[in-house]
Amino acid sequence: MTRTKNCSLCLAIAAVAMLLFVSGKPAEGAPPAGAALPVPPLVNDCAPGIRGGRLVLSTFGDPKTFNPIASNEGTSEDIYRFIFASLLTLDLPSQKMLPGLAHKWSVAADQKTWTFKLREGLVWSDGKPLTTDDVVFTFKVIYDPDVPNPAIDLLKVDGKPFVVTKLDDLTVQVVTPEPCAPFEENVGSIPILPKHILAGKLAEKKFVSAYGVDTPPEGLVGSGPFKLKQYKAGEFTLLERNPNYFVVDKAGTRLPYVDYLMYQVVPDMNAMSLRFLKGENDLYEFLRPDEVERFKSEAAKTGRFQVKELGIGLERGFFWFNLNTNLNAKTGKPIVDPKKLAWFRQQKFRQAIAHAVDRPSIVKSVYAGRAQANFGYITAANKKWLASGLSEYAFDPARARALLKEIGIQDRNGNGILEDAQGNEIEFTFNTNTGNNTRDKIAIFIQADLKKLGIKVNYQPIEFNTLITRINDTYEYECVLLSLGGGSTDPSSSMNVLKSDGYTHEWFPKQKSPVTDWEARMDKLMDEQHKTLDFAKRKALFDEVQQIMSSQVPLIYTVSPISYVAVRNEIANLRPSVLSYYRVSWNAEELYFRKK
């Protein structure tokens, strides 16, 4: 589960390999020829397409890294998802795990011993053999205590790692301490890394900096459908077709169809919209609901593209307060101002803030009615796992004031500003990322709602990667508005968010032991559901987690927008889905341009 930058939110300082650029323009040429196909190749069930062309998308942030293990933000995932492959592949529409680098797999009767068989003749993008040595190495990286890894909780049971063993060059065995309910998805989806490139970095304890954005294209080796061609900070990332990709269509044509895929960097979502309308982009995956009528009108006028409504998506927007009780390692001072921490850590304070947010006005004014209020950790799109009977924090300023009064916060001198029992005015700084016009509007609404309540909110948008550093590393913030995307519909994809030691446990990450009873209870429930194979029992466990999140409100939810995309009419093999943050490009290797 990663933080997202775009309209729902999701993403360094980069050195540029200047030899790869001419006047800042992408240097394209004929894609190289590929190695022989593995045995058996993976045969994709998509309709056979046409080779050639460049697929162009926009983003408003540079990747922070190309390292898929160390990354925990959306702009990096934008790119590395195309560069690496995994043992298995999740087919989003069916939610089924399909073959990937492994062409078959099985589990023993104990439900703990799994065996994967790789395709014979797999090679990396640099032509070197891809074997089970690479699989074993990848898990060595994941379990290395010196490598921060947001996904680590997905690959343990009861805190114990899986045992990964090479049986031969094509066969690898994974044994879990106890049965693991989402094993196929969690293990099967891990990007496999090239040992011959990265083993030295791991041994030198430099793995986290490996595959940084300053990596030259020839040094960024992967096995996915694309490989890096050029990267220029603040302008674009250009990928080219990996000629050694192991997937073909039913006619025997090697995927992907397009020769190049480019992410252009734009300053904000207005610029992203303009690029698409001017025909400079091929896909617009995050069409804002308030722009739908404009885009439909333009589509009817020009006949160049189509607008598709996908329904409520998985992305959930929210804001949260910094509940971190630790001291700053450098200064020895509290990370959060003690008087503010005392407010933030009170359940009734957070419940009051939740009641103070006018979600109906956000739906009407920001989303033109194309959204719905959200009060739970997961959205209505995830019907399989959504709990019923969750607390709904209706817009109710009177209830908010009453809750605050119960904890000693009220207007004590009639000046319209709330104070605590010690006379401190209730005031905090509120951050979100720059470039996201929709989020900016929501933040201003929340600021206005809380001002009416008597709370002073200092709204300060910050560049995304700078904000992520504050959230992940320095913890120097008070309140943040963002959203989560990525992951899957399975509860275990949220282990890194919901467990107290998780890297994305937003309000207080990486706790050595849970600081509250309710977080300790969630830890236990998440560990238990992770190893429970019976669906009804597992859902009951996750339902309780959702109830705790709803009652304690460590994340204060805003709204869930209806998802829309705009796509050029020439693009074929479209299978848009709200079950992915990447609503259209999740199957980019299948997309192709029809000939006019």
Angle between helices 517-530 and 535-552 (to 10 degrees): 160
Rounded to a whole number of angstroms, the CA Rg of the chain reads 24
- CB within 8 A of 162, min separation 6: which ones? 139, 155, 156, 174, 175, 176, 177, 180, 187
Tokens of 469: 């550093």
Q: Domain 316-482+554-560 class?
A: alpha beta
Locate 439 and state its tokens: 């989020």
pTM: 0.84
Token pair in block for residue 90:
């999740």
User: Which residues 6+ apart lie within 8 Å of 55 measured at CB?
Assistant: 258, 260, 261, 262, 282, 283, 571, 585, 588, 591
Q: Is the dihedral of CA 549, 553, 554, 558 positive or negative?
A: positive
As beta bridge partners, residue 120 has 39
Among left, alpha and beta (phi > 0; psi -120 to 50; other), residue 510 is left
Rounded Cα gap, residues 589 and 501, in angstroms? 36
- Percent above pLDDT 70 for the chain: 94
Protein fold of 88-197: Dipeptide-binding Protein; domain 1 (3.90.76)
- Annotated domain spans of the chain: 2-81+212-312+562-593, 88-197, 316-482+554-560
Q: Cα separation of 523 and 495, whole Å?
A: 9
Query: What is the per-residue pLDDT for 536?
Result: 97
Q: Does domain 2-81+212-312+562-593 have CATH number 3.90.1150.10?
A: no
Distance CA(340)–CA(326), nearest Å, equals 14
Can you give the pLDDT of all 596 residues of the chain as single tens digits?
544 444 332 322 222 222 222 223 455 655 566 789 999 999 999 999 999 999 999 998 899 999 999 887 788 999 999 999 999 998 888 889 999 999 999 999 999 999 999 999 999 999 999 999 999 999 999 999 999 887 788 899 998 999 999 999 999 999 999 999 999 999 999 999 999 999 999 999 999 999 999 999 999 999 999 999 999 999 999 999 999 999 999 999 999 999 999 999 998 889 999 999 999 999 999 999 999 999 999 999 999 999 999 999 888 899 999 999 999 989 999 999 999 999 999 999 999 999 999 999 999 999 999 999 999 999 988 999 999 999 999 999 999 999 999 999 999 999 999 999 999 999 999 999 998 889 999 999 999 999 999 999 999 999 988 999 999 999 999 999 998 765 588 999 899 899 999 989 999 999 999 999 999 999 999 999 999 999 999 999 999 999 999 999 999 999 999 999 999 999 999 999 988 889 999 999 999 999 85
- Residue-wise pLDDT for 37-54, tens only, equals 999 999 999 999 999 999
581: closest CA among 477, 452, 451, 493?
Answer: 493
- Asked if the bond preceding 40 is cis, omega within 30° of 0, the reply is yes
